[in-house]
């Protein structure tokens, strides 16, 4: 097993072609700090040098676990975190304002026990906040040496273009990465997001390449299981409700993909991760193991390249640019009832 390294957009930084996601470390997934640290060390020893987390993951606990794991190894790791989602009931402890972004960076630096964040990402777009408000704060934080590069997650195409324009016209730091959802069951970003990222030289770091467990091989007709932690069960229960038509469609597609993987001599996990990792626009899919077994099964996808025949078969199961469940895709806030009623 060999994990190649790829350029992080046009930054000159090299990162492993798999990124270790830390969302499952802490109360949302694995509350055992010692085991989580061992999983992180196993990933680093395997050649991963790129780790992604967020302040909201287990309300900061994920970042604290990473601090323990990276003690003595921080200089060799490209460390990414995010802010935007609520960190308390206070309406100002969230969002993309200068006031909150500066506070969020300071809080993450403290929890991560580091002097700098390599990649700081805005977790979601907020149409109520001017891009220049956010980019101005991020530019100052880069100049202060607290962050090195900036990126965003799940931005719509129009916001990506407007943010790039704002950076150019206002002489602000430029977003260099996008982190969208992308997997075989949800290919919507192939329409605009991936081409835009290529046009602007942005690195793409897709999350959920296993479709929140649907492409892990766990799900079969009559024996579906959802997330194991109570916190995750509450957050995404609808995604595993087999009475819902979209989940029945997912299951049918997964069974076809599992047969295809077996014919190709691969596990379903290898098929799913290779599909995302081998897209020309993608730098590194984010893997999110909760256990050592999860990590090993995902590391086994390193170096796997899908043949044209296998890719063509995937396209017949889930056509390019489509999603099994369009309701999970990003929806413009201008389509919310309050915005469209006259």
Q: Any idea which residues carry the catalytic annotation?
A: 57
For CA atoms 256, 286, 53, 102, the dihedral sign is: negative
Q: Could you count the other beta carbons within 10 Å of the beta carbon of residue 17? A: 20
Query: Max Cα separation, the chain?
Result: 59
């Amino acid at each position: 097993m060999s994990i190649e390294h790829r350029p992080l957009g046009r930054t000159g930084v090299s990162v492993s072609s798999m990124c270790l996601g830390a969302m499952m470390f802490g109360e949302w997934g694995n509350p055992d700090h010692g085991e989580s640290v061992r999983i992180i060390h196993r990933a680093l020893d395997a050649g991963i040098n790129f780790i992604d987390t967020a302040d909201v993951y287990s309300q900061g606990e994920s970042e604290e676990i990473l601090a323990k794991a990276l003690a003595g190894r921080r200089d060799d790791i490209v460390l990414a975190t995010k802010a935007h989602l609520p960190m308390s009931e206070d309406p100002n402890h969230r969002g993309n304002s200068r006031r909150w972004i500066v506070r969020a960076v300071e809080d993450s630096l403290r929890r991560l026990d580091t002097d700098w964040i390599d990649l700081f990402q805005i977790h979601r777009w907020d149409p109520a906040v001017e891009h220049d408000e956010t980019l101005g704060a991020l530019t100052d934080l880069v100049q202060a040496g607290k962050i090195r590069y900036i990126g965003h997650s799940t931005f719509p195409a129009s916001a990506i273009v407007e943010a790039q324009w704002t950076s150019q016209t206002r002489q602000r730091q430029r977003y260099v990465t996008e982190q969208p959802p992308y997997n075989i069951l949800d290919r919507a970003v192939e329409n605009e997001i991936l081409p835009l990222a290529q046009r602007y030289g942005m690195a793409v770091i897709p999350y959920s390449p296993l479709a929140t467990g649907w492409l892990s091989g766990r799900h079969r007709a009559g024996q579906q299981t959802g997330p194991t932690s109570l916190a995750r069960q509450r957050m995404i229960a609808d995604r595993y409700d087999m009475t819902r038509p979209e989940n029945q469609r997912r299951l049918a597609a997964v069974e076809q993909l599992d047969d295809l993987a077996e014919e190709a001599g691969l596990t379903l996990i290898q098929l799913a991760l290779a599909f995302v990792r081998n897209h020309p626009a993608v730098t590194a899919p984010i893997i999110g193991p909760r256990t050592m077994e999860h990590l090993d099964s995902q590391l086994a996808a390193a170096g796997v390249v899908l043949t044209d025949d296998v890719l063509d078969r995937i396209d017949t199961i889930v056509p390019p640019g489509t999603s099994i469940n369009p309701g999970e895709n990003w929806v413009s806030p201008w389509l919310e009832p309050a915005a469209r009623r006259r």
